Amino acid sequence: MTPRPCVQPHADWAFPIPDVTRLDTGMAVWTYDLPGQFILSCDLVLELPLNTEPEGLDGVATIAVRSLDEGTLSHPGPEFAKALESVGAVFNGLVGLSTTQCLLDLPYDSLDEGLELLAQAVTAPAFDESDVARITANRLAEIEQQQSRGSYVASTALRQTLLAEDLRISRPAGGTWESVSALHPSDVSRFHDSAYTPSGATLIIAGDLSGIDAVTAVRQAFGDWNPCVTPLSPDAIAPGVPTRQIVHREGAVQADIRMGWYGIDRHDPRWAGLQVGLAIMGGMFNSRLNTVLREEKGYTYGVSMNSHPFRTGGIIDLATSTRTSAACDLIADTMEILAGAPFTQDEVDQAIGYLTLSAPLAFDTAEAVSSQAATLAAACLPLDHVTTSLAALRRVTPESAMDAFTSLITGSDASIVVVADQSDLPNLPFAS
């Protein structure tokens, strides 16, 4: 008989700390030397919050970043894609609430050439009118697809109730049909010229950097980028007025339900306790909400409960769907569960394990490290935040988790959105 293996306690683990260099242009360079990771991940985080978009041009930041790799002044049109392919690089871009990111993955021995191409895309894009028009058309098609999903409609409506209506971040990051359809390629070019700047930017490079002078390569690629623009700060966040609404979706075969609360950011001392409380209530598969609403009553395939922190403040949402006839009962039962008994030690131990023990595996690649580092840069968090956050999670008690949870989440002050065919919807407690 094969002897049972001896399971050793897990070794101490910490998120890596980068070497930090700041260029004369105002851009910071974070380098993470990760031996054995021969596919480098580069993430340029631009200080470019959504409120940088001119009034009435929601979505222009998304069209701009999606158009960067459609051609540059040095490599127009398809030539840029061929240049990326020649060095084995993949480019992507995305728009967040407080930053825009330009990402490049490439083999470690192509860093110099790859950074040159990244710099071209960011500092000297061609913005050919036909390319920008195609990207805009793709975004409009994407919006149509999103609007066809009740889950998207519900999440969008919820965000608009949780945040003050005049805040740019209360509206879709990629813009609406009305705002995007009104964009002209010249709007995209002007936005790029007025918003893209090295000031406040952070370039993250993660991977095996042995024998590579990454900082010198960055200086050669980005050294001429003129910091002629002063970046804006994100809007000061203000909560909206909690509301409860039904969004009629004719022919919908189910009800998509969202509940939400104005929340906190990662700087708040309640953050660790809140994460444990959310995991217990709706973040794990065996959470209280899933156990009752899915397993016992069969209302839904699942319930999720998550926090979405901003640089300051944040929102908390509960998401689920159910057969329309069960919507009223599901909401009532959810309210009861949220106001349930205090958390137990066993629940807290399970939640802490769920939130902490997978960290070494979760950050096992260069891409995962650079992505998390980009989150730190975007949220203005310290470089050791991941490690200290894990330590804080391990110190959470049933009392601190319950205090954090109940200080932010009660059924009485929840915003609620139900997207359903109203003709099939039972009388909800807040129906007009």
Secondary structure (3-state) at 361:
helix
Q: State how far the Cα of 263 lies from the Cα of 327, in Å rounded to an integer.
A: 25
DSSP code of residue 227: -
Average confidence (pLDDT) per 10 residues, the chain, 432 residues? 78 92 96 97 97 96 98 96 97 96 97 98 97 98 96 96 93 96 96 96 98 97 90 86 92 95 96 98 95 95 96 96 94 94 97 94 96 97 97 98 96 90 80 48
What's the CA gap between 352 and 72, in Å, rounded?
A: 48
Query: pTM of the prediction?
Result: 0.93
What is residue 82's predicted lDDT score, i.e. its pLDDT?
97
Asked whether the beta carbons of 119 and 221 are under 8 A apart, the reply is: yes
Q: How far is CA 336 from CA 156, 271, 357, 410, in A?
A: 25, 24, 31, 10
Are 19-222 and 244-424 in the same CATH fold? yes
Taking Cα atoms as reference points, which of 387, 356, 342 lies closest to residue 369? 387
Per domain, the residue ranges of the chain are 19-222, 244-424
pLDDT value, residue 432: 44
Q: Which CATH class is domain 244-424?
A: alpha beta
CATH superfamily label, 19-222: Metalloenzyme, LuxS/M16 peptidase-like (3.30.830.10)
CA–centroid distance for 258 within its chain: 18
Report how far residue 395's alpha carbon sits from residue 75's, in angstroms, rounded to the nearest whole number. Answer: 53
- pLDDT for the residue 12: 79
